[in-house]
Amino acid sequence: MSIDRRLLDILVCPSSRRPLRPLSRDQLSVLNAAIAAGGVLRVDGSAETTVLTEGLISDDRKVIYRIDDDIPVLLVESGTALRYTSHKLCDLDQSLARRDVLRHVLSLTLQSNLARARATGAFHRVDQFR
């Protein structure tokens, strides 16, 4: 994100006065896919048709504001209303957290299985078979 961190610390949602945080790449890709599918509406009820390259989301996860040329567009009527979005962008954070947990569990399971195979002698180096 190219917005100065000091500016980001003072920016708030103009309607709820809640702090704003940058959208992650994963959130942007999900949102842009939803925009391409025609499932995203602005706060004013009009369809969102322009994909975002950067954005800010309110910490209550109700509105997304676009960033154009490093300038946050904090107009309430042009914000993307997540309650009208057909795709569950807010669920993305939870699914990413679950993915990270699953990845960690798989890693531990593989390490455990590898250690067990080495300990029992079931694991042989490939060059032993040449």
What's the whole-model pTM score?
0.63
- Which pLDDT value is given to residue 94? 56
- Which pLDDT value is given to residue 13? 92
pLDDT over threshold 60, residue 110? yes
Nearest to 19, CA basis, from 55, 72, 54, 58: 58
End-to-end CA distance of the chain: 53
Same-domain pairing of 116 and 69: no
pLDDT single digits (tens) 58-90: 988 889 999 998 889 999 988 988 765 545 555
In a domain, 115, yes or no: yes
Same-domain pairing of 35 and 75: yes
pLDDT over threshold 80, residue 5? yes
Same-domain pairing of 65 and 117: no
- The pLDDT-based confidence of 11 (bands split at 50, 70, 90) is very high
Same-domain pairing of 96 and 83: no
Same-domain pairing of 11 and 62: yes
Same-domain pairing of 99 and 78: no
In a domain, 128, yes or no: no
In a domain, 77, yes or no: yes
Domain residues for the domain of 107 are: 92-121
pLDDT single digits (tens) 16-62: 999 999 988 888 888 888 888 888 888 888 888 889 999 999 988 88
Distance CA 15, CA 77 (A): 10
- The pLDDT-based confidence of 14 (bands split at 50, 70, 90) is very high
Same-domain pairing of 29 and 69: yes
Same-domain pairing of 32 and 80: yes
Same-domain pairing of 42 and 24: yes
Two structure tokens written together for 98: 């679950």
Cα atoms in the Cβ-side hemisphere of radius 13 Å centred on 70: 6
In a domain, 130, yes or no: no
In a domain, 80, yes or no: yes
Distance CA 16, CA 26 (A): 25
